[in-house]
Amino acid sequence: MSQRITGRYVSISTTGEVAEAYVPAPLPLNPPLQINADLHQSMIQAALELGRLDSLTASLPDRPLFLYFFVRKEAVLSSQIEGTQSSLSDLLMFENELTPGVPLEDVREVSRYVNALEYGLMRLREGFPLSLRLIREMHARLMVQEQGVKPIPSEFRRVQNWIGGTRPGNARYVPPPPEYLIEAMGALEKFVHDEPERTPTLVKTALIHAQFESIHPFLDGNGRTGRLLIPLMLCAENILSEPLLYISLFFKTYREEYYNRLQAIRTHGDWEGWVAFFIEGIRATAAETVAVAKALATLQAVDRNKIRALGRTAGTVFRVYDSLAKHIAITIPKTAVETDLNFNTVKVSLRRLSELQIAKEITGHSRNKVFIYSAYAKLMDSGFEKSASF
């Protein structure tokens, strides 16, 4: 592979020393990406797996429920890359006004990621383009700290930042100085909109994610924002109808290679290595997502058959089961209100579900019990640094 010039270094003076900051060249690549036979085959396989995933989305028995959990799985995994300790079960507990097993701020950070992604998808479906304004609006939702505060679109940074190390002089990577950001992000926005030329979606998404990470336009939250762009791009370009892909699992599993591949773009112009890594991540994650979705659908079908076999009490138990499947973590009082059943009826139904090994009480308390849809949660909780004990 011939090395291409993908940017330039400029000297900066900050914290009392001189350092070199990297200014990436605008996309598209020049010379163009070299797509050899192996990469071409990987792109075909990734497209096939994404097609299977999108087809499965339309046939899922409970599409909103699956979307709810896959979005949250991506949110937890992306946040874990940044060091949070929250698991999917912690997020579910938090969203159901229960006490998670980790610091609340870790869970709030994941919840904000969910909000930012859902907001971005809503805006796209309203016809708003994937643009710098939308990226800033999503970033604001990702970073807002206080509940009830309306996020104000974030501004691009006005000071120098760096990655790794204690200062620019010993940092692993120093992004472009603030005065280069508007031009760099403006060029990236044009590339998103296929200016000056159209680029195949998977390659385009890979290039955009890497370029955003190199520009690092915000003081904080760049990694999570950059990963948010991946499902948004796939949905905006009609590759996926729903953001069911949790590619952050691949990035987390191969975290060191993820960072090394991005750095190799800046140091050696190795876009081919990055794109091959990214495309494999798309293929592998799409295939796993399909397998998990099928397993979850099968689990629900089996559990419904178990409940159906209860006979005359099945109707009431089904109402409680539907609440359990909707929230994964539930309490008796809240379920009684939601299902319009009395406390004792919900209690008996949950005992039936526990006997069927569908629900599991996780506190061990005689009061204020919390029940989890354990097998469902285990399937969705796989791949996390901190998994729940179900």
pLDDT digits (tens, 9 = 90+) for 57-100: 777 777 777 787 788 888 888 888 887 777 777 777 777 676 66
How far CA 67 is from CA of 54, 118, 120, 243, 282, in Å, comes to 12, 11, 15, 7, 18
Would you give the DSSP letter of residue 7?
E
- pLDDT score at 146: 57
Provide CATH 1.10.3290.10 ranges for the chain: 7-287
Say how far apart CA 216 and CA 226 lie, in whole Å: 9
3-class secondary-structure state, position 383: coil
Lowest mean pLDDT among 231-235, 304-308, 386-390: 386-390
Task: Give me the pLDDT at residue 180, please.
Answer: 97
The band of 150, judged by pLDDT with boundaries at 50, 70 and 90, is low
pLDDT of residue 217: 97
pLDDT, tens digit, 9 for 90 and up, residues 12-25:
987 678 999 999 99
Q: Is the pLDDT of residue 264 over 50?
A: yes
Q: Residue 5: how many CB atoms within 10 A of its CB?
A: 9
Does the domain made of 309-381 have the CATH classification 1.10.1500.10? no
Q: Is the dihedral of CA 122, 153, 198, 203 positive or negative?
A: negative
pLDDT of 266 higher than 50: yes
- Which residues of the chain are in CATH 1.10.10.10 domains? 309-381
Token pair in block for residue 225: 């924002």
Helix count and strand count (H, E) for the chain: 15, 5
Helix/strand/coil (H, E, C) string of 247-265? CHHHHHHCHHHHHHHHHHH
Higher pLDDT, 101 or 17: 17
The pLDDT of 293-321, averaged and rounded, is 94
Q: Averaged over 227-245, what is the pLDDT? A: 93
| 2 pLDDT higher than 60 | no
What class, spelled out in words, does domain 7-287 have in CATH? mainly alpha
How is the chain split among helix, strand and coil, in percent rounded to 5?
A: 60, 5, 35
